[in-house]
Structure 1
Amino acid sequence: MRTEQPKMITLSDYRLPDYLINETHLTFELFEDYALVHARLLMQRNPHLDAHLPLLALDGQHLELVSIAVDGQPLSAVDYRLSDSHLELQPRQNTFELSSTVRIEPQKNTALEGLYKSSGMFCTQCEAQGFRKITYYLDRPDVMSRFTTTIHAEKKRYPILLSNGNPIADGEDEHGRHWATWEDPFKKPAYLFAIVAGDLWCVEDSFTTMSGRAVALRIYVEPENIDKCQHAMDSLKNAMRWDEEVYGREYDLDIFMIVAVNDFNMGAMENKGLNIFNSSCVLAKAETATDAAHQRVEGVVAHEYFHNWSGNRVTCRDWFQLSLKEGFTVFRDSEFSADMNSRVVKRIEDVAYLRTHQFAEDAGPMAHPVRPAQYMEISNFYTLTIYEKGAEVVRMLHTLLGADTFRKGSDLYFERHDGQAVTCDDFIAAMEAVSGIDLEQFKRWYSQAGTPELQVSDSYDAATQTYQLQVKQSCPDTPEQSNKLPFVIPLSMALLNKQGAALPLQLQGESAAVLDERVLSVTEAEQTFTFINVAEQPLPSLLRGFSAPVQLRFDYSRDDLLFLLQHDTDGFNRWEAGQQLALQVLEEVVGQIYDTDEPMFDTRLVDVFAVLLQQEDLDPAMLAEFLALPSTGYIIEQYVHADPLAIYQAREHVSNQLAFALKEPMLARYQALRKASLETPYVAQATDFARRRLQNMLLAYLMRTEDLDILDACVDQFGVADNMTERLAALACLVNSPFTAETEQALESFAERFADDPLVMDQWFSVQAAAGLPNGLERVLHLLHHPAFSIKNPNKVRAVVGAFSTQNTPNFHAIDGSGYAFLADKVIKLDALNPQMAARMLSPLTRWQRFDLHHQEMMQIQLKRIRSCNDLSADLFEVLEKSLAV
């Protein structure tokens, strides 16, 4: 059992750094069993502080100090003090040069932080605190320095040597080695540093900026992946153009590089000029990557590129301000993807993910504000709250201020703070300056955790033709926070008449009616909005476009929801009405699931699905969203104490009933779509994504009927598909079916065909790990022994352990607790290898409070078992402590 308590870091304790590093000169000597890092730091006492010279404490972990000198004079052991986390010494003057050499072992670095090896190449991941595993340094984001980096390595093994900035020199060493020097002209914190050394091939292109500068674009990959880069390159150029047109941001270096690596804890990293990506976020072509993978590549490439300004040129002062760069950039990449594809569908996808996962985080033991007040390990705060909720906070500003004012605010923000490390308050201050609006109350979104609830009721007076909306807001208690103050909540709304048309909106006190849609600013705990000249009883369309990340409560009848689904002029709210209708039906079935073998459910759901299937002019992407029932995870979040097995069975029952009732129209539509797919070459664009999405959803429904003709169609789609989207969808249908022989044959042929492609094999793993048929854990245990699986590779862990624990409801939540014990076993093993991954994989068990008493008990047993282990990492320890403290 862990005996010492890791230190808690608090925002209130922030103070300016005692010393600054004006220049950083690094030289790497890379060898097969170790590396030497020579650092020369030009340092000075921070001029914003008093003149006395305090102790200098440099961060450092897992470093073997070889030598150290100040202004060229070597230091002896009595001149400094070493610990497991710091090198401390006493400077004698305000400016000085600190030189050091350390020895590290990248080959043994399974945590994938700092400098490590992936598939034979050297690469780095320094955010948040990985640079301290490379050399002794002030590893904090508010210490910004100009970096010059030289890399020495064996030329035959590592012909490509890359770092941040622009290349300025290269040459040959003796004994078959060579070197390259890179210079970054822009100051940056250490977390944005990167090097890569490997045997890589390159796809090249160029982009001409709005000022006429030519920028070289390069994507580096291992040779076998050279044919999978074009989509990423196209996405990069689209993102560069979009950022110029929408935000006026021009790229600033002569070269922009992306490197794909197989071993990476996250999706990608925005290192200045040298983005390092998880290969799953770069590599994409029709035969090996699904449409969803293509869209993910597009979004992640854009996200990391957009960071060049919202994260690099202007960075965060401290890690509490992480959402300053991540929330803003997620909003930017979401808007980019909306412009590249269907705006409504993108919004639906984002909100569905937010409500299923981030809302769950807000309701759990790890709940924290968008700007946390404290942390033990910053790696635990790369959360959905920071990213997704942070993006929603920025979106609310965009909604409240309007697009033009928001753009002026972002321009001012970049102008004021270029080259600086700043705070969320600085971002808000820029928006206040251009809008003239006091946003002090709005900043509560940064400091208060939890998902606010809006309870809305209405009343209509026919005699006076007035209509009132009564709005109450509240926010549940969260760990360490209670008695929340009112937020500023933009409530986008419209009033619909009996024909579904939006009525003019005139608030009491206004001189004239305004738009048929408007944003109400909800700022008080209770507020009433009175509309006048309302000629008939309207039906409100509330929270249009999901204008705020809140739980909306309004007493819509099922007939109301049917009306909104068919008539609302807001595409998002049409989908939302369908989701709420389906949710009411599903909750009704959940209540019957243990009482009868054949629960009854409202057939109006069948009727409206039948109508939608006949609407040929309806966007196939929207139809696919309408036909998708709420996810099991989202349904679970609607309960105080959920029975996951009953919810899963209820959803399966309703899905089966829909499949049988709508078999004929679904089959007709599937056949038409399949015919179009066979006649159309694969194209990675929105209209084709939509067609294949609907086609595959219909096939999944139809396979539930266990019709042999449909089985033949599924096997045919699997066998003749020219793209991974259709092939993988058909495989998933087979894996979740009772047709054992056809399933085994398909799995075998798939694995044989794609055995040499790690990313495709990850999909093969995931399809099986997520299958909800009986004996799921047995299948997963078998997958762990497959030659393509490695617990040291984060993608493999996510593909098997992650898919099982987050997507396989009946087997993970097995009544005997075996699924929970499996996850606990893997978390314990992972913690010794990669603490970040261990802490993230634990998440499904931390939500134990959401479930019924039996499942709570089973989960707590495993949490306590993990907690009793010796030498837990600080990452895992923090998550366990918060989970069990509730």
Structure 2
Amino acid sequence: MEPAAPSTVYLKDYRPPAFLVSEVELDIDLLGEDEARVAARLALQRNPAAPRPPADLELDIDEIAVESVAIDGQPVGDGRWAADARHLTVKDVPAAFELRTVTRIRPRQNTKLMGIYLSGTGFFSLCEAEGFRRITPFLDRPDVMARYTATLHADKARYPVLLANGNCVGQGDEAGGRHWARWRDPFPKPSYLFAVVAADLESCQDRFRTRSGRDAQLQCFVEPGKLDQIAFALESLKHAMKWDEDRYGLEIDLDEYNVVAVGDFNAGAMENKGLNIFNTKLVLARPDISTDWDFSFIDRTVAHEYFHNWTGNRVTCRDWFQLSLKEGLTVFREQQYAADRYSRAVARIQAVRNLRTGQFPEDAGPMAHPVRPASYQQVSNFYTSTVYQKGAEVVRMMHTLVGPENFRKGIDLYFQRHDGQAVTTDELVAAIEQAGGVDLAQFRLWYEQAGTPRLTVRDRYDEASRSYELSVTQQCPPTPGQPAKRPMHMPLALGLLAPDGRELPLRLQGEAAPRGTSTVLSLHAETEVFRFIDVPARPVPSLGRGFSAPVVIDYPYDEAGLQHLLSYDSDSFNRWEAGQRLAMNLLLQGVADRAAGRPVQFPEYLAQAFGRVLADAEADPAFAAEALALPPEVVIAEQLGQIDPLAVHQVRFAMRSFLAERLHDGLRRAYDHFATPGPYSPDAQSSGRRALRNLCLAFLMDLRDADARRLCLQQLEAAGNMTDAMAALSAIANCDCPERRAALDAFHAKWRDEPLVVDKWLGVEAQSRLPGTVERVRELTRHPAFTLKNPNKVYALLGSFGVNQVQFHAADGSGYQLMLEQSLALDVVNPQVASRMVRNFERYRRFEPGRQALMRAALERIATTPGLSKESSEVVGKALA
């Protein structure tokens, strides 16, 4: 039985709002954990840009009780207003008026964690995308921008910290041990950026002086006892502020900037104007409880949310179809920041790996959608890798096509034109187009068409004329609702390597001057041919340098060509890519051999190529760690017509074991050599050494010998930082040995009072490839450390289990049954998080028949569940369609 289809919202149906709101005043009285009273005053006027404005005012509401309505100070009688589950309607309103409403909300019952809800230390809010309607009746859409004043009242002893957007303009005590604080945001903003906090929190302060000489007060608020974990995030905030001034000329625009950490949060973080609210896992850090990845991710996330102050807040989205206007652009800026702060090569490799493991499968599945979707049923389902990561790649392509200087001019023009406005992706493209002097009309298809394009590249060298010809054909596969695609405008960065490894000067036929040794071709047509002249010998092409476009490049490299690129390419990304292709070709051959009953074997040149990377690791250990890491199982699976996850896992493990055996001595030497002496530091050089050393340990553990286990347990016991401890714990968790259970239990016992570390332990348990993992995860769903009410716990245990390619996809369907049960239980508590768990089933058609049938049965069971949320219904409906 198919699920009932939720209503669909279409981009083509966009209409300007019937009313505008210039001022919002909220008085939020937190009467206790179970109830809050919200009095709102809205200054409204009919929108002259709206066609045929209605006589009635319709405001969005969700799970709030409306008590009274008044217009211009006069109560509105019961016959003139009505409230149902979704809307408050007020009849026959004037052209301009003041609306006052009084509503009641119940924070404790708000397990959806949207609007104002109760967490461990107090009240917090999350309004993106449609949470403000859970606080007060409003035109809850991003193109309604207003100036907000918020006054909070609460018990002073229980909730001593009262925060909202903007600057604090007043505070004081009230009768009965209560107090109040008033906050005023001087800049117009959409309702999704509204935020309040009333909690028992500790804080640390700092100041930042802008380049124009203004001082801004910075504060970070955390749960009591966590102040020693906030210093890194505060320093990251200052780094981000300075970087945005230097790179884009953008300054902080408020007198106060506050960051709050909360343990129960649906999102990673939220860029509310002047009041960023973070999930604790993305702001709290200390060497003994946080890994290098944690530190790096916190740095980038703090920067990301700060960068939103301009790319998202000062200029925001006209509608939710334009979500990538703020997210894609801000992810691109975050990636620029990471490249400047850390290893540029490693930052790019990690971004592309994330794209390939998350967005490429999404583009090939039933939920495929353009960067700017044409429709949605629940907007929360479109906070996707496509909108974020592919959206960033689209911005990066514009940066490549127009060049860094013109891109900066385009961003400046974008702000000059649209500061304080809600706009579309077209406005962003138009500004860059004008500043760069490049026609981007065809380029806009990147926002309109779903799917991952495939570039088929073939070449021909003519020795007599010393010319080298490249033929490039682009094709994009069908996706739901888009069976046929038009060619897209994209950059193709490339270089040519001579047989001796030299980079050849590039000169296109018909051009007077050479282009240097690396160039960017601008592709437009379905098939294009480029002829290079004065090429002395047949070269090896280095294609898609820096991953210049989010495409799959099909070029028939042989093993010699890939080893040539791996050895000589000046582009670090393509050196890494050559190693990945070399391994991928052999992995796919191994899967085919296994299916045909042939022995899986690997050639010695693979070990020699990886051995050279290991031998040269001193120059850049972080890059070496990336180059030695094999393609992830999900990326291998994407290359197969039909996925057998066990086969993929076994062949990849066989390659790891082969490399570990052949490179044993080098891995052991590197493990000893790349130890990081002295106090822990998350800097790029130190974290790079740890990354390589821990990769060596993981390879050695695949040999399953006593010496490797001794090393691993020794590292786990003596680790002076969480990076080394987690690397050892993950390795022992995948080793079927007597020491395994004791090590995992001892780790939990040591860290049971640190929730973020317990989440890491849950993730390690859930990702184990060993038999028994399904039952262990089921057991952990009943563990005191786990609750469906906390998204962090859900993502740590169930989210980690969902990416376990072996045990989630257990052939008997036990993994699917577990995820089915937990997703349905979660759907009642938090539909937004539940729909993300349900997405583990959405690509069932890609799997071999047995697993395919089991996954489809799970989807059908979810579809027939009475009262299934709209969020999960959309995912299931599209998967089964």
TM-score, normalised with respect to structure 1: 0.98
Q: Percent identity?
A: 49
Kindly indicate whether residue 879 of structure 2 is the aligned counterpart of residue 883 of structure 1: yes
Instruction: Pick the aligned partner of 2:710 from 704, 709, 712.
Output: 712
Preserved contact between residue 152 and residue 178 of structure 1 (Cα < 8 Å): yes
SS at match of 2:682: coil
| Matched AA of 2:43 | L
Kindly indicate whether residue 745 of structure 2 is the aligned counterpart of residue 745 of structure 1: no
For residue 55 of structure 1, report the CA deviation from its aligned partner.
1.8
> C-alpha deviations, 1:571-617, integer Å up to 9, x for none?
00000000000001111111223566952122211111122222254
Name the counterpart of 2:856.
860
SS at match of 2:221: strand
CA distance in structure 2 between the partners assigned to 1:425 and 1:854 by the alignment: 45
CA distance in structure 1 between the partners assigned to 2:208 and 2:354 by the alignment: 34
CA distance in structure 2 between the partners assigned to 1:702 and 1:766 by the alignment: 22
CA distance in structure 2 between the partners assigned to 1:389 and 1:704 by the alignment: 34
Name the counterpart of 2:734.
736
SS at match of 2:593: coil
| 1:444-459 correspondence to structure 2 within 5 Å | 444-459=445-460
Structure 2 CA distance for partners of 1:80 and 1:3, relative to 1, 3 Å = farther
Name the counterpart of 2:763.
766
CA distance in structure 1 between the partners assigned to 2:430 and 2:711 by the alignment: 59
CA distance in structure 2 between the partners assigned to 1:659 and 1:595 by the alignment: 26
> C-alpha deviations, 1:167-188, integer Å up to 9, x for none?
0111111111110000000010
| 1:419-498 correspondence to structure 2 within 5 Å | 419-498=420-499
Kindly indicate whether residue 326 of structure 2 is the aligned counterpart of residue 330 of structure 1: no
| 1:548-559 correspondence to structure 2 within 5 Å | 548-559=549-560
For residue 709 of structure 1, report the CA deviation from its aligned partner.
2.3
For residue 362 of structure 1, report the CA deviation from its aligned partner.
0.3
Name the counterpart of 2:213.
212
Name the counterpart of 2:122.
121
| Matched AA of 2:842 | T
SS at match of 1:841: helix
Kindly indicate whether residue 14 of structure 2 is the aligned counterpart of residue 17 of structure 1: no
For residue 48 of structure 1, report the CA deviation from its aligned partner.
2.8
Instruction: Pick the aligned partner of 2:788 from 788, 791, 795.
Output: 791
CA distance in structure 2 between the partners assigned to 1:280 and 1:845 by the alignment: 27
Preserved contact between residue 845 and residue 852 of structure 2 (Cα < 8 Å): yes
Kindly indicate whether residue 838 of structure 2 is the aligned counterpart of residue 837 of structure 1: no
Name the counterpart of 1:178.
179
For residue 745 of structure 1, report the CA deviation from its aligned partner.
2.4
For residue 90 of structure 1, report the CA deviation from its aligned partner.
2.2
Kindly indicate whether residue 801 of structure 2 is the aligned counterpart of residue 804 of structure 1: yes
> C-alpha deviations, 1:52-99, integer Å up to 9, x for none?
653211000101111111111112221112111001112432111110
Structure 1's unaligned 5+ residue stretches are none
CA distance in structure 2 between the partners assigned to 1:4 and 1:798 by the alignment: 27
Structure 2 CA distance for partners of 1:613 and 1:41, relative to 1, 3 Å = same
Preserved contact between residue 593 and residue 649 of structure 1 (Cα < 8 Å): no
| Matched AA of 1:779 | R
> C-alpha deviations, 1:429-464, integer Å up to 9, x for none?
111221222211000000011001100000010001
Structure 2 CA distance for partners of 1:517 and 1:70, relative to 1, 3 Å = same
Please, which moves more after superposition, 749-758 or 789-798?
749-758
> C-alpha deviations, 1:636-685, integer Å up to 9, x for none?
011121111101110111111111121111001101123xx2x3210111
Preserved contact between residue 158 and residue 199 of structure 1 (Cα < 8 Å): yes
Preserved contact between residue 2 and residue 872 of structure 1 (Cα < 8 Å): no
Preserved contact between residue 766 and residue 800 of structure 1 (Cα < 8 Å): yes
SS at match of 1:187: strand
For residue 228 of structure 1, report the CA deviation from its aligned partner.
0.5
For residue 121 of structure 1, report the CA deviation from its aligned partner.
1.3
> C-alpha deviations, 1:508-564, integer Å up to 9, x for none?
101122211000011000100011111111110000000000010000001111111
Please, which moves more after superposition, 89-98 or 816-825?
89-98
For residue 805 of structure 1, report the CA deviation from its aligned partner.
1.2
CA distance in structure 2 between the partners assigned to 1:477 and 1:32 by the alignment: 51
Preserved contact between residue 314 and residue 421 of structure 1 (Cα < 8 Å): yes
Name the counterpart of 1:694.
692
Preserved contact between residue 2 and residue 880 of structure 2 (Cα < 8 Å): no
CA distance in structure 2 between the partners assigned to 1:637 and 1:3 by the alignment: 28
Preserved contact between residue 3 and residue 876 of structure 2 (Cα < 8 Å): no
Preserved contact between residue 21 and residue 144 of structure 1 (Cα < 8 Å): yes
CA distance in structure 1 between the partners assigned to 2:317 and 2:601 by the alignment: 55
Name the counterpart of 1:111.
112
For residue 712 of structure 1, report the CA deviation from its aligned partner.
1.7
TM-score, normalised with respect to structure 2: 0.99
CA distance in structure 1 between the partners assigned to 2:133 and 2:286 by the alignment: 37
Name the counterpart of 1:681.
679
CA distance in structure 2 between the partners assigned to 1:652 and 1:106 by the alignment: 49
| 1:397-796 correspondence to structure 2 within 5 Å | 397-593=398-594, 599-674=600-675, 677=676, 679-740=677-738, 742-796=739-793
| Matched AA of 1:825 | E
Please, which moves more after superposition, 385-394 or 596-605?
596-605
CA distance in structure 1 between the partners assigned to 2:364 and 2:54 by the alignment: 46
CA distance in structure 2 between the partners assigned to 1:447 and 1:594 by the alignment: 39
| 1:372-383 correspondence to structure 2 within 5 Å | 372-383=373-384
For residue 47 of structure 1, report the CA deviation from its aligned partner.
2.9
Preserved contact between residue 2 and residue 870 of structure 1 (Cα < 8 Å): no
Name the counterpart of 2:76.
75
Structure 2's unaligned 5+ residue stretches are none
Structure 2 CA distance for partners of 1:335 and 1:52, relative to 1, 3 Å = closer
| 1:809-824 correspondence to structure 2 within 5 Å | 809-824=805-820
| Matched AA of 1:878 | E
> C-alpha deviations, 1:677-719, integer Å up to 9, x for none?
2x32101110011010001100011112222222222111111
Name the counterpart of 1:27.
27
Preserved contact between residue 45 and residue 53 of structure 1 (Cα < 8 Å): no
Kindly indicate whether residue 261 of structure 2 is the aligned counterpart of residue 288 of structure 1: no
Preserved contact between residue 817 and residue 858 of structure 1 (Cα < 8 Å): yes
| 1:354-373 correspondence to structure 2 within 5 Å | 354-373=355-374
| 1:183-262 correspondence to structure 2 within 5 Å | 183-262=184-263
Report the number of matched residues: 880
SS at match of 2:102: strand
| Matched AA of 1:856 | Q
Please, which moves more after superposition, 743-752 or 268-277?
743-752
Preserved contact between residue 33 and residue 118 of structure 2 (Cα < 8 Å): no
Structure 2 CA distance for partners of 1:884 and 1:5, relative to 1, 3 Å = closer
SS at match of 2:253: coil
